[in-house]
Amino acid sequence: MSTWNANCTKTIVLLCFNYINGFIFIFVLECFSKMSYANQSQTLNITGQQYQGLLERVLFSTLIGMPCCVFLFINGTMLFTLRSKPVFRETSRYILLYNLLFADTVQLALSQLLYIFASCRIMLTYPVCGVLVMFTKLSNDISPLTLVLMSLERYVAVCYPLRHATIITIRNTGVAIIVVWAISLLNVFTRVLLLLNYPFEDLESLQTTDVCSSTTMLLEPITNNYDKAYTYFLFVSATVAIISSYTGVMVAARSASTDKASAHKARNTLLLHLVQLGLSLLSTMHNSIIQSLSTVLQRLVIVRIKNVFYVFIYILPRCLSSLIYGLRDQTIRPVLLYHLCCRMSLSCSTKG
């Protein structure tokens, strides 16, 4: 653990440095290819527009890539923290948090990978794009279902404090997480079956005609309808469960036998879960919003809006869990800060 702490700062610096270097290398190559094409066609005006688009992509990619690297580091540190002590590994609440963080981190990494492909205009084949999209869907479905479990756990802790230890056990928590993964895998399996019905053999090439995204894999109306129906059902059910838990906690808070401080903290936690669920819902409705705006706005404006949406409804929500629990939880906070600051706290205590 001490070796990891000593090298964590170097790791994140090297990660961000390599990220920027990779982007610069790719975009410089693309710039030279476009300049070569411009010399052959002798259209200076078009060349200038293309170079401006390239420069803007480099700027957006760097501004978006750096926070993503930082958030991936924070989430990775939080995951490491939740496995570093027995109290985190043997408490149901922290086990659920680990599952949520794991799904969010995978979702963030895959989203950033797809963003890099889109920025570099790399066209993937349908099988490769399908695999990436299905893993993204899997991690995206796990997050709201885990939020429901965490809300129910807080509801039981406040409304049934004497039975909490017998209901919320490690075994029951493990079973609940398995059910969450099973539901998410079943959804992915259904999507794969729908995709296999598409006549890929009639295509001239398996390479996609647009950048890889979840919209690219909506090849038939039935796939699109299933995607909308499942998304709406999932988030309506999750919203009802979280609101019901919040209502139960509010009612229990008015009881004289309930711990007021615990009920107040649980109420705030459930509100944060509701905000997280709302942001997750926005990420799933992202494609519908973009499609509606594309009918009235130019493509360049749409691209810029997609970049802004990507930051606020894809990147930031995936780091909320680390920030919320890392700063609010008195058990996690000192351990997380120790790992984030590497050996700073150790040096300060040695000097003291």
Which residue's entry shows tokens 């923290």? 81
Q: Quote the CA–CA distance of 315 and 191 in Å, as a whole number.
A: 25
> For residue 336, what are the CA distances in angstroms to 90, 150, 223?
18, 20, 42
User: Which structure tokens are listed for 169?
Assistant: 């056990």
Q: What is the pLDDT of residue 21?
A: 44
Of 136, 25, 156, 187, the residue nearest 93 (C-alpha): 156
Of 99, 108, 111, the residue nearest 145 (C-alpha): 99
User: Which structure tokens are listed for 285?
Assistant: 């409705």
CB 283 within 8 A of CB 315: no
- Dihedrals φ, ψ of 122, to 5°? -90, 120
Q: What is the pLDDT of residue 154?
A: 84
Q: Quick count: other Cβ atoms within 10 Å of Cβ 24?
A: 13
Of 70, 153, 141, the residue nearest 100 (C-alpha): 141
Of 274, 66, 259, the residue nearest 161 (C-alpha): 259
Q: Quote the CA–CA distance of 201 and 95 in Å, as a whole number.
A: 45
Q: Is 205 helix (H, G, I), strand (E, B) or coil?
A: coil
CB 114 within 8 A of CB 212: yes
Of 319, 314, 279, 320, the residue nearest 111 (C-alpha): 314
Domain residue limits, the chain: 51-196+211-341
CA-based radius of gyration for the chain: 23
Which residue's entry shows tokens 């965490």? 150
User: Which structure tokens are listed for 27?
Assistant: 């975009």
Residue by residue, pLDDT tens for the chain (352 residues) are 444 444 444 444 444 444 444 444 444 334 333 333 333 333 323 333 333 466 767 777 777 778 788 888 888 888 988 888 888 888 888 999 999 999 989 988 998 888 888 878 888 888 888 899 899 889 888 988 998 898 888 888 888 888 888 888 999 999 999 999 999 999 999 999 988 888 877 777 788 887 887 777 778 888 888 888 888 888 888 888 888 888 887 877 776 555 666 667 777 777 777 777 777 777 666 666 777 777 777 777 777 777 777 777 777 777 777 777 777 778 888 888 877 776 444 445 444 4
Where would I find the H helices in the chain?
2-41, 44-82, 86-89, 92-119, 126-159, 164-167, 170-196, 221-253, 260-284, 286-293, 299-310, 317-328, 332-340, 344-351
Q: What is the pLDDT of residue 53?
A: 62
Q: Is 122 helix (H, G, I), strand (E, B) or coil?
A: coil
Q: How far is CA 243 from the centre of its chain?
A: 23
Q: Quote the CA–CA distance of 126 and 211 in Å, as a whole number.
A: 11
- Determine whether domain 51-196+211-341 maps to CATH 1.20.1070.10: yes
Of 313, 294, 297, 116, the residue nearest 213 (C-alpha): 116
Would the pTM of this model clear 0.85, i.e. be above it? no
List the beta bridge partners of residue 125: 207
